Structure 1
Amino acid sequence: MTRPSSPTSSAAAPLHGVRVLDLTRLLPGPLATRHLADLGAEIIKIEDTGAGDYAREMGPPPPGLRDSDSRFFRALNRGKRALRLDLKHPLGKAVLRRLAESADVLVESFRPGVMDRLGLGYEALKAVNPRLVYCAITGYGQDGPWRDLAGHDLNYLAVSGVLERTASTGAVQPAIPSLQIGDLLGGALPAALSIVAALYGARQSGQGRMLDVAMAEVVLTHHMTPLLAEAGAAAPRGEEMLTGGLPWYGVYATQDGRHLAVGALEAKFWAAFCATVERPEWAGQQHLDGAERDALRAAVADLIASRPLAHWAERFATVDACVTPVLTPEEALHLPQFQARGLAGDELRSGAAASPFVMDGVRLTAGGEPPAPGQDSRAILLDAGFAMDEVDGLLAQGIL
């Protein structure tokens, strides 16, 4: 059984002792570094001396914390230390170079070339720390004709062919997913994985690496089903094997306007489904194609539509057939399975316990509150070997 979340500041945490300089904002980069924080790394969040990370104001704060940063920001930045730094000033650049000397990782999400123009790109920082793992997260990568284009999650899904496939049969236009696939699965997760792999390599060789995470192409390379179809033979959208083309793998409306997810892809699960809905004659029909398969899908749809969702949820609650109710986010927060594994709804809403990492039965979670802008500036520089008068001088000049 999974034990409650545990702060990962102890020496037992997998990434204990790893120091990360995080220059990113908004979603992909901050989530990547929060994953590293959950695994024990020290994250120094570096914001400019102006607006900083404007995710602080994206949405409401948690209940009871009216003057706090947004829940969105808190979820992404808990357990980090914060430094304000003017990277356009020569002294600010010098501070970053000095911090990079003892850092293990630097993560940035500027457009390609920005850090080089500041004199703080990979080659410049590699000169002061050959072991540094430098991760750049961008929409389209460090080279190519689109390297300088701005983009958001929706754009990365659009150009990778994913968005076009999200529409169901007969839909007028594609649906916008509520999960930011490009930002999260194309940016945050591959960045974190690449960083961990590069850290392992640096420990072996003494050499860091330049990591080029391009969100649009990560999404494209993972769009397996249509990419692996025979050239020109991809099914119409909404009719691929895993997007509605199979009667035993799809989403069906119930009598009360809710939906049931039927994922009975394998023959044994389909047989269990057919037995549960008292249609054993359907069990042997997985060889059907064309109009016969369409007729079976329509029959399944009619049957599911004859009863409310609660009826089917209760009917399949103990049946091993891969059939589940389609829940709202609020219902998901109260699902007994998630609660049994320590994912309490109130904590998830505040961003306090949303770590996906469970090791030795413990959910690893970065401890501490999200930082205020620059709250650790003085302590970070003193820890890095700056003299007190140097720090005071930087503060007086507005560099921090």
Structure 2
Amino acid sequence: MATLNDALAGVTVLDFSQVGAGPTCGMLLGDLGATVVKIEAPGGDIGRKLGPPWQNGESVVSMSFNRNKRSLAIDLKKAGSAALVRRLVERSDVLLESFRPGVMDRLGIGYEALRGVNPRLVFCSVSAYGQTGPWRDKPGVDGIIQAVSGLMSNIGDAESAPMKVAVPAVDITTAYIAMGAIMAALRVRDASGEGQHVDVSLFNSAVMLQQSAVASYFSTGDKPIRSGSAAPYSAPNEAYPTKDGWIMIAAYHEDRWPKFCELIGDASLATDERFATNTNRVNNRDALMASVSALLAAHGTQAWQEKLEAADIICGPIADYDMLAASPQLAHNGVIVEMRNVDAGTVRMPGAAFGDRDAQSRVRRGPPGIGEHSREVLAEFGFAADEIDALLSAGAIRQKEISS
């Protein structure tokens, strides 16, 4: 039976994107079965400079964005490179790029130029602020967008300095949005016969990521109050200290709240006017935290987890990565995959968790070296051997030499 890993079989993607959002989108398309060609400069995608950590000189961060691709290294500033790209586009379905708006046009390979070569092409641009508007020419990366989108104003507690999500949350969110937009555009193309230019921005994605918080602001006019681990719309729904650590508890449902109070040793909390409803508990969160924390200090995290879970109270320990790696659910789900890079050797990373566990994370290729597949890819796209040799001699492409 076909799985989601084969959903995009037969779709060819030219991935010109760099760093995080675009490359992750290209990787996800590859996870779903697309043939993805990573097109990068002879010196490599600038994301390859992200580190530490390094594994045999290769950026682990960059490798985590680039499995299931082959690398074709092209110097887009060399004469003849635009013609080379146009030949690739003739046989492609999707082009993904993340340059600043206008760069692809100046290189002679923007959407208007390429739609004449292949009217069925889905051309997806990923940028900081979008292809139009007053900020279109501003540069931006994940951390900057976390700042200007309001996301950082909502992270931490009331006394915290400005904080960001430590992982590139905006990049990854943008990647999934771009993937969905591309798949929707392919669906439209299959019905109409025409491709289109898809405009995806980190800024819009960051705003979409905050949908409940931004909607709440527009409803009330009140800026969010930074509340640490707590959900601003429900309580108890936050991390509490225990005798030996921390536990996250979500006991705000009206049927769970009285049961929770009884289990932790003070049934009277359920009828205390300050805590009788979810709204009251949110408005009196500091008092709630003090009361609950004092009771939870009696036992350790594991003991509380066992007791609460037995009563169907939603909870979980605050896990570090050692605990995550040892998680039996992580092992069962098969979401951590192993692959090889020609220089780094064996690497492990989260795969694509699409479908059930038997359809998870099919790794067809490890993250490629710079220009590792230049000859192979060009030959598949109809370039003769002497043409490839000429491009190599002119410095228009690079082929990575791999020692046996």
- Structure of greater relative contact order (alpha carbons < 8 Å, 6+ residues apart): 1
Give the TM-score taking structure 2 as reference length: 0.87
Secondary structure of 2:265's partner? Answer: coil
Aligned-CA RMSD value: 2.8
CA shift digits 1:135-172 (9 cap, x unpaired): 1111111111211111221111111111101122x323
* 1:32 has 2:12 as partner: no
Distance 1:54 1:127, change over 3 A: same
User: How do 1:218-297 and structure 2 match up within 5 A?
Assistant: 218-229=205-216, 230-238=219-227, 242-243=231-232, 246-256=234-244, 258-284=245-271, 285-287=275-277, 288=280, 294-297=286-289
Shift of 1:295: 2.6
Determine the structure 2 residue equivalent to 1:180: 168
AA partner of residue 13 (structure 2): V
Residue identity in the other structure for 1:297: M
1:304 paired residue number: 296
Matched-pair contact (CA < 8 Å) for 2:337–2:361: no
State how far apart, in whole Å, the 2-side matches of 1:53 and 1:283 are.
55
Normalised to the residue count of structure 1, the TM-score between the two structures is 0.88
Q: Which moved more, 1:10-19 or 1:334-343?
A: 10-19
Partners of 1:202 and 1:208 within 8 A in 2 = yes
Q: Is structure 2 residue 14 aligned with structure 1 residue 14?
A: no
Q: Counterpart of 1:260 in 2: which secondary structure?
A: strand
Structure 2 equivalent of residue 121 of structure 1? 110
Structure 1 pair 167–56 and aligned structure 2 pair: CA distance change class (3 A): closer
Give SS of 1:107's match. strand
* Alpha-carbon distance between aligned partners in 2 of 1:290 and 1:38, rounded to the nearest angstrom: 42
Task: Trace 1:62-77 onto structure 2 (pairs within 5 A).
Answer: 62=55, 66=56, 69-77=58-66
Kept after mapping to 2: 8 A contact 1:165/1:174: no
Aligned-pair identity (%): 33
- State the AA in 2 paired with 1:176: K
> Could you tell which deviates more after superposition, 171-180 or 96-105?
171-180
Q: Do residues 370 (structure 1) and 358 (structure 2) align?
A: no
Offset of residue 56 of structure 1: 5.8
Q: How many residues align?
A: 385
Query: Which moved further from structure 2: 122-131 or 353-362?
Result: 353-362
Which range moved further: 209-218 or 308-317?
Answer: 308-317
Residues 175-196 of structure 1 show CA distances to partners (whole Å, capped at 9, x for unaligned) of: 22122221111x2110111111
Distance 2:36 2:262 in 1: 53
Deviation at 1:212, TM superposition (A): 0.7
- Aligned partner of 1:23 in structure 2 is 16
Of the candidates 94, 108, 133, which is equivalent to residue 83 of structure 2? Answer: 94
The alpha-carbon deviation at position 232 of structure 1 amounts to 2.0
Q: Does the 8 Å CA contact 1:72/1:351 hold for their aligned counterparts?
A: no
Map 1:173-212 to 2 at 5 A. Answer: 173-185=161-173, 187-212=174-199
1:173–1:25 distance in 2 versus 1, CA, 3 Å:
same
Structure 2 Cα separation of the partners of residues 116 and 273 of structure 1: 61
8 A contact 2:154–2:224 mirrored in 1: no
- What is the deviation of 1:228? 2.0
Q: Which amino acid aligns with 1:36?
A: L
Aligned counterpart in structure 2 of residue 111 of structure 1, from 89, 97, 100:
100
Structure 1 residues 239 and 31, CA, compared in 2 at 3 Å: closer, same or farther?
closer
* Contact in 2 for aligned 1:25/1:109 (Cα 8 Å): yes
Tell me which amino acid in the other structure corresponds to 2:36: I
Q: Distance in 1 between matches of 2:303 and 2:122?
A: 54
1:250 maps to amino acid: E
Tell me how far apart the structure 1 counterparts of residues 354 and 73 of structure 2 sit (CA, whole Å). Answer: 30
* TM-superposed deviation, 1:346: 7.4
Residue deviations 1:73-113, cap 9 Å, x none? 22221221110111112311110011011100000110000
Alpha-carbon deviation of 1:240? Answer: 11
Shift of 1:269: 3.1
From 51, 56, 63, the equivalent of 1:58 is 51
| Counterparts in 2 of 1:33 and 1:318: CA distance versus 1, 3 Å | farther
Identify if the C-alpha distance between structure 1 residues 57 and 163 changes in structure 2 by more than 3 Å, giving closer, same or farther.
closer
Q: Which residue of 2 aligns with 1:3?
A: none
Query: Are the structure 2 counterparts of residues 292 and 158 from structure 1 closer, same or farther at C-alpha, using a change threshold of 3 Å?
Result: closer
CA distance in 2, matches of 1:117, 1:332: 46
Secondary structure of 1:323's counterpart equals strand
Deviations 1:334-383 (A, max 9, x none): 11111111235878993455222125842142312221211211121111
